[in-house]
Structure 1
């Protein structure tokens, strides 16, 4: 797949382009397609997507399922990571810590954020702040996805 940030900048300018980007991104890891994410922001150090509140992502009490929320958080983190990481580095997720703070009873906006200096630090452990927010502004899930960021093989340090 082409550079995620370049693809976003190209597709998001055209009618229906955000949907095209979202579909293409979901093909990278097929389980992302289960939530049908709709990306709304992709830029260095910040990304956002929306999970629509519909039956296919519900749990037994009719709210957006915890695992659907985690899939959304992981997808938005992946877009942020691809848009933010320097070309001479690579990343892999190494863990996720989340807390469910309220019922997910509406569409949920998943948000991932980092600070620019995190990507150039000598520390390979990079925490990405993530959260999911209901339409009324209530945070329903929040946490950290930890990445392991190392130099690409063959890159000069």
Structure 2
């Protein structure tokens, strides 16, 4: 499989993260494109083709009634990680849209949460793509795991 050229998102990430506080700047830029992501104050800590990590800090605004990180905040972080990964990875002739999310809550989320989305390069083909997503606490305990289903289709001719 031929190496594809970097996407616009990957180029932007590579350029911005060279700056002081670059990961924070990049994360704010993404949150401005999709404002709901800003509710969790996400931080993209690692991005490369087919892989993204997003950090959610444990703070009062994302707590549930038992003072752990609310699962919907975690879902938001997982969707951000998936979306940024997809935009940084998808071949230029394809496009994507989310179709669903299936998650299991496996442990209490009592610390900062690291949200991870990862696929293999050969998975970028037309049809359904199940993107594995996992959220980890500070001790690398899985607190949420599952997948986000994407519909991958060809871009219409211009």
Which category describes the TM-score, using the shorter chain as reference length? Answer: over 0.9
Q: Does 1:8 align with 2:13?
A: yes
Q: Which residue of 2 aligns with 1:48?
A: 53
Structure 1 stretches of 5 or more lacking a match?
none
Partner of 1:145: 148
1:81 is displaced (CA, Å) by 0.3
Aligned-partner Cα distance in 2 for 1:101–1:112: 17
Instruction: Specify the alignment match of 2:30 in structure 1.
Output: 25
**Matched length:** 152
Q: Deviations over 1:22-50 (max 9, x none)?
A: 00001111110000100011111100010
| Pairwise CA RMSD | 1.1
1:70 alignment partner in structure 2: 75
2: CA distance between counterparts of 1:91 and 1:49? 20
Counterpart secondary structure, 2:20: coil
| Structure 2: distance between partners of 1:101 and 1:127 | 19
Paired with 2:130 and 2:19, the residues of 1 have a C-alpha distance of 33
For residue 12 of structure 1, report the CA deviation from its aligned partner. Answer: 1.0
Alignment-derived partner of residue 89 in structure 2: 84
Q: Distance in 2 between matches of 1:54 and 1:146?
A: 29
> What is the TM-score normalised by the length of structure 1?
0.94
Alpha-carbon distance in structure 2 between the residues aligned to 1:127 and 1:84: 15
Structure 1 runs (4+) deviating above 4 angstroms are none
CA distance in 1, matches of 2:156, 2:46: 30
Q: Distance in 1 between matches of 2:140 and 2:80?
A: 21
CA displacement at 1:136 relative to structure 2 = 0.6
Displacement of 1:118 in angstroms is 0.4
TM-score (norm 2): 0.94
What's 1:57 paired with?
A: 62
- Equivalent residue number for residue 130 of structure 1: 133
Partner Cα distance (1:6, 1:126) in 2: 24
